[in-house]
Structures are given as C-alpha cells and as structure tokens.
Amino acid sequence: MSSSRCSNCGQVPEQTTLDSEQSCELKSAVAPGTRFHSLYNSNEAPEPSETPLVLSISSKIEIQLAALDTEISRLRERLSHLEADRAFLAPFRGAKERVLAPIRRLPSEILEEIFMWSLPILKDAMYYQDRTIKLSPWVLTHVCSSWRAVAISASALWSLLILHYDERRYAPHAIEVQVQRARKLKIHFYASLERDTDSQIQMLRYLIEHSARWEEACLGVTADLAPLLLSLRDRIPALRKIWLDVDRRRWRRSRTGG
C-alpha cells in the first residue's frame, strides 16, 4: 500500500490496512459454537476433511494479526504526531487575551506612574537589600524590552540609593548604573567598621562627585570617612533634607583600632 507524507509536516494521511468485512468474517469463523472453536478448546482430533478449514482459518489469523500490528504501529505514530502537535499549540492557548491585553497599549507615561507605585518603601528597601534585584525598579528591567525601556528612562525610579555596609557589600558597577539612570538622588549611606574601609571611601567619593543631584541625604559615617564630608560645601544646591551621624562609638573604635 502506497503512502504519501504531508510536504509541510511530514505526517502520513490517515489510512488503514484492515479490511473490516474480512475481520468480521474471521471473528465469526472462530466464535463460540463454531467447529474451529470446538476443536481449539478440546483435545478432539479434526476429521481429515476439516484440515483444510483449520489451515485456512489459521492462515487468515496470521494475516489478520500482521495487519493489526501494522495498524497499531500506524496509530501509535499518528498519536505521537497528534501529541506533538498539541504540545506545540498548547502554550498558545489564550493567545488572544495575552496579545490583545490592554496593558500592552498603555502610554509610557501611565506605565511609568504604575512603576512608581511599585517602588518599595524605605523600610522594605533597607530590609531586602540582599534581594535588590528582585525589587522595583531592577526587577522591572527583566520583564520585557518595552518595560525595560520605560523603567530605564524613568529617572525618578532610580533616585533612592541605599548603601548599608553593616548589611552587605556592594558592586560599584551596579551603583554607578543606578546613579547614571537617576536625575536626582536620595542617598542613604551607612558606613561600617566591619567592612573594607577603602571600598567605602571610594564609594562615598563617587557619590560626592554627584552631590549636585542630591535631594536627600542620610549619612552615617566613621572617622575615616568623616573628612570627605568637608568637600560637600557649596556642592549640594538641590539638597532639601539631610541627616548626618558620625557615630562616636565608631569614631573611638576607628581611632584606637579596637
């Protein structure tokens, strides 16, 4: 039997090697009540005249079993193709709702406003510093290209900058990226005697270079960092709020080395 495959997907058009009429005749020939069924289910020897019948039916059974095996194989292949087709198409279920979702048509200005409401409050931002990448605004840049573009261009999203050295270390590159994206800065810088002093000095110097954009500043420094604050004079024109703490305990520990 010839078969042809679809030029697009390679599947074989549905067909069968079974003859339903012959199948019915064969099942009737071996059904209970027939001579063949009686001989098969007993030790009785067939009459010589019955031998051709037994041979004929046995031959037809072999042919039918071969045809059934072929058909089963074909159906399994067909089932495999159907399951593959379903697996391919299933993820696209609900494509209409997804592709035509109203949020895709939101103006950038409205999306930016929504993003602003997603920013963590200061308390949460301080608490979850070790998972900053999972918080807004960073997480917004990993959703899709359009969200990333809006988030990066929205300078207000990047204003809050928290550096708490008692809690963790910071990658300078990530801080530089945030400073570059922000227009105005709300700095929270808390030094630590338990961390590398040089890296903290370097970071505070970098932030002071951008002090003209400071809008708020909360600074907790050690003795080693305190002299750097003198360079802020006449360099913070946009500053509206400041909190400064040179911890005397930190000062004594720093000066005595204990």
Segment 29-77, tens digit of pLDDT? 999 999 999 999 999 999 999 999 999 999 999 999 999 999 999 999 9
Q: What contacts 185, CB < 8 A, 6 or more positions away?
A: 159, 161, 179, 207, 210, 213, 214, 215, 216
Question: Is the per-residue pLDDT at 4 higher than 60?
Answer: no
CA 47, CA 54: separation in Å to the nearest integer?
10
- Percent of the chain's residues with pLDDT above 70: 85
CA 241, CA 218: separation in Å to the nearest integer?
8
Local confidence band at 255 (pLDDT 50, 70, 90 cut-offs): very low
In a domain, 58, yes or no: yes
Token readout for 102 is: 């109203």
Strand partners, 186: 160, 216
- Together in a domain, 228 and 116: yes
CA 245, CA 258: separation in Å to the nearest integer?
20
In a domain, 25, yes or no: yes
- Together in a domain, 242 and 177: yes
Local confidence band at 256 (pLDDT 50, 70, 90 cut-offs): very low
pLDDT at 258: 40
Using only C-alpha atoms, the chain has a radius of gyration, in whole angstroms, of 40
Cβ proximity of 129 and 164 under 8 Å? yes
In a domain, 99, yes or no: no
- The overall average pLDDT reported for the chain is 86
pLDDT at 10: 57
pLDDT at 253: 42
pLDDT at 204: 95
Strand partners, 241: 216
Cβ proximity of 17 and 72 under 8 Å? no
In a domain, 155, yes or no: yes
Between 16 and 112, name the one with better pLDDT: 112
Local confidence band at 1 (pLDDT 50, 70, 90 cut-offs): very low
Question: What's the average model confidence in pLDDT over 99-127?
Answer: 88
Last residue of a domain, one of 93, 117, 138: 93
- Together in a domain, 120 and 169: yes
